[in-house]
């Protein structure tokens, strides 16, 4: 019985906990998006956020305006310059 409990504990600490942490970080990233941020989507598109809606974003990439789901944002590569230091 002890090895089984130990395996579950190892599984939790190596797989579940890091995934929960990553999920929380991504949710915080999406919550803090604002116009002017430069982003990279999971599809590889680099663009600048024009407008933030409830579930989607309007971005400009080159000469094209796109509307994408917030969930497709992989990372923020550059924050907008109007950010104030806390």
The conformational region for residue 10 under phi > 0 = left, psi -120 to 50 = alpha, else beta, is alpha
Residue 30 lies in a domain: yes
pLDDT in tens, 14-58: 999 999 999 999 999 999 999 999 999 999 999 999 999 999 999
Whether 18 is in a domain gets the answer yes
Q: Is 83 inside a domain boundary?
A: no
pLDDT score at 81: 75
Which long-range contacts link 5-13 to residues 24+ away (Cβ below 8 Å)? none
CATH label of the domain that carries residue 8: 2.30.30.100
β-pairing, 73-78 vs 38-41, is antiparallel
Judge whether 8 lies within some domain: yes
Q: What is the pLDDT of residue 80?
A: 82
Decide if pLDDT at 61 tops 60: yes
Q: Is residue 69 part of a domain?
A: yes
Tell me the residue range of the domain where 15 lies. Answer: 2-78
What integer is the mean pLDDT of 48-69?
95
Number of domains forming the structure of the chain = 1
Residue 30: φ, ψ to 5° = -65, -35
Do 58 and 51 form a contact (C-beta atoms < 8 A)? yes
């Amino acid at each position: 019985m002890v090895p089984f409990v130990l395996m579950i504990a190892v599984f939790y600490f190596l797989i579940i906990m890091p995934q929960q942490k990553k999920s929380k970080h991504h949710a915080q990233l999406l919550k803090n998006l604002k116009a002017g941020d430069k982003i990279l989507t999971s599809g590889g598109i680099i663009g600048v956020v024009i407008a933030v809606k409830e579930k989607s974003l309007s971005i400009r990439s080159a000469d094209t305006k796109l509307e994408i789901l917030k969930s497709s944002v992989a990372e923020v590569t550059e924050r907008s310059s109007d950010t104030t230091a806390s």
